[in-house]
Amino acid sequence: MEDAATFIGSLGVTLLLLAFLLNVARRLQTENVLYISLNLVGAALACLSSYLIDFLPFVVLEGVWALVAAVALVRRARARYRP
């Protein structure tokens, strides 16, 4: 199980860092759907990994991060489809 948690966590952190690097390089803006999606998926995977290794502080951190990204995606979708 620890190998799976390491793989899942590594993938999640890679996605989070990719979003960050693309933003710093001015390739993705924070309002971009890809940026928000990378944060959502990356944080969710990091949260799952932390849960699997029973490390509560990062479960909370990454869980809140994923929740904030999910809310941002929903708000963006609602704003896009307003008449």
pLDDT tens, position by position, 13-60: 999 999 999 999 999 999 999 999 999 999 999 999 999 999 999 999
Which residue did the predictor score with more confidence, 81 or 42?
Answer: 42
**Number of domains, the chain:** 1
What integer pLDDT is reported at residue 80 of this predicted model? 83
What integer pLDDT is reported at residue 8 of this predicted model? 98
> What is residue 83's DSSP assignment?
-
Alpha helix locations (H) across 1-55?
A: 2-24, 33-52
Question: Range of 25's domain?
Answer: 2-80
What integer pLDDT is reported at residue 81 of this predicted model? 80
With beta carbons less than 8 A apart as the criterion, state whether 36 and 69 touch: yes
CA torsion angle 24 28 33 39 (round to 10): -30
CA distance 9 to 73: 22
Q: Is the pLDDT of residue 83 over 80?
A: no
What integer pLDDT is reported at residue 1 of this predicted model? 72
